[in-house]
Structure 1
Amino acid sequence: MTKYYEPLHTLGQLQREVNRLFDTSPVRHADEADLATSDWVPAVDIKEDTDRFIIYADLPGVEGKDIEITLDNSILTLKGHRESSKSEERQGYKRVERVSGTFLRRFTLPSSVDAAKVSARSQSGVLELVIPKNQQSQTRKITVEG
């Protein structure tokens, strides 16, 4: 079986490497391990507020019951499965519109998070994770007198 050159895959891999080099976010992720153990990696947005982190993961076609979220030793893991999508075959060519199979995404959270209060909600193909920070670890501005 001949393996074909896939320029979009190579371009995506290059983009992930460049993004990893410039990532200054306090919430780190393990892209290399995720890619090796999953069929696809969902895109995420990470937002930091003064009192919490919010992670939005694009999971179109994945129901909440098919998503497993674990938090162990500051490692947040999202994994699940999306069923096969519609494919089309004509004259020996096959076209698959969306990636299916298992997905995995891991994040290393800072010690300032309150693991007991993490919540998750899935709506319209977007998973929202709210990760509160501990009250005592929040930044406090100190006024200098004199």
Structure 2
Amino acid sequence: MALMRYEPFNLLNQLQREMNRLLDTGRLGDEESGNILADWAPAVDIKEEPNQFIIHADLPGVESKDIEITLENGVLTLKGQRSAEKKEETEQYRRVERVRGTFLRRFSLPDVADADKVSAKCKDGVLEVIVLKREAAQPRRIAIES
């Protein structure tokens, strides 16, 4: 007799995955053209500091050469691909949860973001994108004549 871990929502999660696969709602697409653009979306954290925005995206197993970052019309796009591992014929997986394929995330940047001052680096499976803020014009006091 094999011991199994009790997971009360396991059947519901499995049903949801199957429905998503059936209806293809689990994939990110372009509503205008109907084309599927991505198989998955990485988890991100966005932090705002006084002089910059910092975006951390979890991309384990993705090499920096497979990541494309673009900024157009105030929209920052993270796009890339996690390659599938070569599986041997003898391997018998019981569960496969790690998603492979194309990923996509888009972010609308606020007006204070400086599109010319964006940098990115990838280390240990975490992509860090830094978007500096524009230097705001300092408020000045206007004298009132009487």
TM-score range, shorter chain: 0.5 to 0.7
Whole-Å separation in 2 of the counterparts to 1:106 and 1:137: 29
The question of 1:7 aligning with 2:13 is answered yes
DSSP-derived class of the 1:7 partner: helix
TM-score, with structure 1 as normaliser: 0.66
Shift of 1:10: 4.1
**Matched length:** 112
Match of 2:129 in 1: 129
Structure with more helix by fraction: 1
Shift of 1:9: 8.1
Match of 2:60 in 1: 60
Match of 2:5 in 1: none
**Gapped runs of 5+ residues in structure 2?**
1-10, 18-24, 30-36, 142-146
DSSP-derived class of the 1:116 partner: strand
Q: Which of 1 and 2 has higher RCO (CA within 8 Å, sep 6+)?
A: 1
**RMSD of aligned Cα (Å):** 2.9
TM-score, with structure 2 as normaliser: 0.66
Which amino acid is the alignment partner of residue 38 of structure 2?
S
- 1:74-89 equivalences under 5 Å are 74-85=74-85, 88-89=91-92
Deviations 1:101-136 (A, max 9, x none): 000000000111111110000000000000000001
Shift of 1:97: 4.0
Percent sequence identity over aligned pairs: 55
Higher-Rg structure is 2
- Tell me if the contact between 1:85 and 1:97 (Cα under 8 Å) persists in the aligned partners: no
